[in-house]
Amino acid sequence: MHRLSNISKGLRVILALPLATMLASCGQVNVESKDPNLTKPTVTQMDLQKPVPIYPADTPSSADGKVVWQKENCAACHGDGTGGSAGVNFADKAYMDQQKPVDQYMFVAYGENGNHPRDGAKAVPNHPKMYNQITNRQIWNLVFFARSLSRPVIETGNPEYLALDAVFGSNCVVCHGKKGNGDGPLAHNLEPVPANFASFPRFYDRTDAILWDHIANGIKWEGMPNFLGKSDKAKNVKFDKDYIWKLVQYVRHFQSTEQSYTVAQSNNSQSGDAQKSTNATSGAK
């Protein structure tokens, strides 16, 4: 027994040595070392040579976007939003239904022109770079103000919203959850899991036309059913083409709002937005 006790003590000493060495070395780290992984521009600031979207920390507000529109004198080029010298009609549903929010953000923020002329249409000129000129949140607010000119967000509380919310509750909540977070009662049985409508990285990369197609025709190999031509008899609703566009507007209310935020909420710093972006991106499907 005495011999076993000595062996046990010896093992404890041996095992303790690496730990002591590690702890000692912690105090010897050279904090002035030039670790390239720590000094990348993208760690502390945007790499403007390879710009990426910085997703908002909170739901963008089209009402606040109108304020930015006026303050930045966007009307000088866009007029009332239906044309102007820029030649872009934000009220044109056929055009706006094909635009991704994230592409519009990149265009406003970094002046990138992702719009290529089709069928003889005039090319859209580059946009002044607004990144670092206004806050990241204000850029997103501008995007959704422009989008609201063709398809306004159906805001929580009005009669149209309440009617759509009831239909959503009867047909969609079972998979997507009451708040659209993809956590309905059947969600855990589905692979892939139902879409989280509050995921900015996912849904800002979708046009309204794509959302319409997914609702109307379903998504093959996934649990998303097709609704076009079907009915909700209990709610006296026919899922025709126009009604599915209303559902697209309903889904967008998870990603934007017509309500104005307080000054404190609407002036979130870009660093805060970037942190939220990191979290949101990591959880995007």
Is 120 a residue whose pLDDT tops 60? Answer: no
Please tell me the distance from the alpha carbon of residue 207 to that of residue 247, in angstroms, as a whole number. Answer: 14
User: What count of other Cβ atoms lies within 10 Å of the Cβ of residue 278?
Assistant: 12
The pair of structure tokens assigned to 30 is 């050279």
* CA gap 256, 44 in Å, rounded: 28
Using pLDDT thresholds of 50, 70 and 90, give the confidence band for residue 83.
confident
Residue 88 has pLDDT above 70, yes or no: yes
Q: Which residues of 220-230 are buried (b: 16+ CB within 10 A; e: fewer)?
A: eeeebeebeee
**Between 193 and 283, whose confidence is greater?**
193
Secondary structure of residue 239 in the 3-state scheme: coil
Residue 123 has pLDDT above 70, yes or no: no
- Residue 233, C-beta contacts closer than 8 angstroms, at least 6 positions apart: none
| Cα distances (Å, whole numbers) of residue 105 to 110, 146, 152 | 8, 11, 18
3-state secondary structure 181-213: CCCCCCHHHCCCCCCCCCCHHHHCCCCHHHHHH
pLDDT of residue 285: 40
The rounded percent of the chain whose pLDDT value lies above 90 is 57
pLDDT at 218: 95
Query: In this predicted model, what pLDDT tens digit does every residue of 163-215 receive, in sequence order?
Result: 999 999 999 999 999 999 999 999 888 888 899 999 999 999 999 999 999 99
**Is 93 a residue whose pLDDT tops 80?**
yes
Q: What's the full length of the chain, in residues?
A: 285
Instruction: Give the pLDDT score at 271.
Output: 43
Q: What is the reported pLDDT for 230?
A: 97
Q: What are phi and psi of 268, to 5 degrees?
A: -60, 140
| pLDDT value at residue 178 | 94
Residue 255 has pLDDT above 50, yes or no: yes
pLDDT higher than 70, residue 135: yes
Q: 73 pLDDT exceeds 90?
A: yes
Strands 237-238 and 231-232 turn out to be antiparallel
Please report the pLDDT score of residue 124 as a whole number. Answer: 55
Burial class (CB in 10 A: 0-12, 13-18, 19+), 92: middle
What's the pLDDT score for residue 49?
67
The confidence score (pLDDT) of residue 142 equals: 97
Kindly report the number of other CB atoms within 10 A of residue 234's CB atom: 9
SS3 237: strand
Q: Which two tokens stand for residue 203?
A: 């849904």
13, pLDDT greater than 50: no
pTM of the full predicted structure? 0.73
